[in-house]
Structure 1
Amino acid sequence: MTETTRVLLIGGHGKVALLATPLLVDAGLDVTSMFRNPDHRAEIEALGATALERDVTTLTVDDWADLLKDFDVVVWSAGNGGKNGAEATYAIDRDAAIASIDGAASLGENAPRYIMVSYIGSTSHTIDPSDSFYPYAESKKAADEHLAASNLDYLILRPSGLTLDEAHGVEIIADTPEAGQGRTTSRKLVAEVITEFSVREFPQTRVLPFVDGDTPVSEIN
């Protein structure tokens, strides 16, 4: 890594990313925040990040490789958020994510460390195909499995139901939908975990299922 760690935050105007940006900047990292809507540039720059306006759905594997070669850590926090239907969800949450993984992996020993923001039990979901949540569930499952099969140094974050509550600590739980039932994870906590593992080595496990708890994030190992 370079003396100053360079972080690319993909999906920079999402709720988690907007919380993570100032934490990453305060930690002394060189943060580039990638977003699609030009109207969001000023807000992102005000948080201390370098703004990068790109549409993830337009980038090829080679485009991703060219982009990611300049970074030490890449954080995937982009998502359709159910706004524009199943087609957009597959295009962003599955296809673009997988293309970014392949682009990073193609860099070999120069590849950045890769943090994927997912959700608890993503690879063991039993969502019915008729459910409106199914395209998202399938997309995250595909992206997480693709990352796990790559040669990247990776970490998959799996929070439970996201809230805007304050963060007071973390609890690591089993990576199953049942374990996450009725539990919540503050988006601020997700931002804190992103920051923690952008500045130090990933934990022994490559999948981190977590909810709000009492343990300091610094004690995750």
Structure 2
Amino acid sequence: MNILIAGATGKTGQLLTQDLLDQGHKVTALVRESSDTSTLPEGTHLRHGDLTDLPPGVCDGTDVVIFAAGSGGSTGPEMTDKVDRNGAMRLIDLAKEAGVDRFVMLSSIGADQSDPSGDLAHYLKAKHDADAHLKASGLNYAILRPVSLTDDGRSQDVILGDQVDPSAQASRADVAAVLAEAATTGTHDGHALNMQSA
């Protein structure tokens, strides 16, 4: 499959890219001109595009698009809106225009709330809006909402769905594995799933 990843240079994105390459897929990283691509696995293709201003055609020739990007914890509300909300929504629209088969969204626990509260309220609202846009797009989709992330390796198992403990943790390696599964198998099509490592 031809798979386009937004956020491939991030911690989770690098693991995801390696997983998909190991499975024999063609992986293209959507990166800004200024991105440090030195950490991407060998064999990764590059396509330039900034999530705050995506050009038309960025999803052309792609079977599956995965959004695993994020504005980062140190940026303010404006950048959260530009990347996590508007950037994701624009990528969804471009994916639909390009006729991609599936769009996989890396979201967050709590993004199912339309009016979240607490320290992460603005971020969760942005993720909620992007998830809602994907659901309404008509695309085949899967949405993964992991709990707090760690840099631990793969665990023995993962828990998906209503049994997830919101206070638990999920390793980035497990998140990458589930994203790869969602992208390539269609197992989770039509679902928004909470996730934790077991």
- Asked if 2 retains the 8 angstrom alpha-carbon contact of 1:105 and 1:150, the reply is yes
> Given the two structures, how large is their TM-score scaled by the length of structure 2?
0.91
Q: Which runs of 5+ in 1 are unaligned?
A: 214-221
**What's the offset of the Cα at 1:36?**
2.1
What corresponds to 1:216 in structure 2? none
Q: Which runs of 5+ in 2 are unaligned?
A: none
Q: Could you say if the C-alpha distance between residues 132 and 172 of structure 1 is closer, same or farther in structure 2, counting changes exceeding 3 Å? A: closer
Q: CA RMSD in A?
A: 1.9
- Write the deviation string for residues 108-150 of structure 1: whole angstroms up to 9, x where unpaired: xx3231000001231226533xx54222111001000111111
Within 5 Å, which residues of 2 pair with 1:30-49?
Answer: 30-36=26-32, 38-44=34-40, 46-49=41-44
Distance across 1 between alignment mates of 2:33 and 2:76 = 18
Q: Counterpart of 2:36 in 1: which secondary structure?
A: helix
Q: Does the alignment pair 1:29 with 2:18?
A: no
What corresponds to 1:7 in structure 2? 3
Q: Could you say if the C-alpha distance between residues 183 and 43 of structure 1 is closer, same or farther in structure 2, counting changes exceeding 3 Å? A: same
- Asked if 1 retains the 8 angstrom alpha-carbon contact of 2:65 and 2:100, the reply is no
Aligned residues: 197
Q: Which has the larger share of helix?
A: 1
**What's the offset of the Cα at 1:204?**
5.6
The one-letter code matched in structure 2 to 1:170 is V
**What's the offset of the Cα at 1:93?**
0.3
- Asked if 2 retains the 8 angstrom alpha-carbon contact of 1:8 and 1:33, the reply is yes
What corresponds to 2:75 in structure 1? 84
Q: Counterpart of 1:162 in 2: which secondary structure?
A: strand
**What's the offset of the Cα at 1:104?**
1.7
Q: Which has the larger radius of gyration?
A: 1
Q: Counterpart of 2:174 in 1: which secondary structure?
A: helix
**What's the offset of the Cα at 1:205?**
4.8
What corresponds to 2:64 in structure 1? 73
What corresponds to 2:183 in structure 1? 198
- Asked if 1 retains the 8 angstrom alpha-carbon contact of 2:115 and 2:125, the reply is no
* Aligned counterpart in structure 2 of residue 127 of structure 1, from 106, 116, 134: 116
What corresponds to 1:164 in structure 2? 151
Q: Does the alignment pair 1:137 with 2:133?
A: no
- Asked if 1 retains the 8 angstrom alpha-carbon contact of 2:141 and 2:190, the reply is no
Distance across 1 between alignment mates of 2:144 and 2:17 = 17
Identity, % of aligned positions: 31
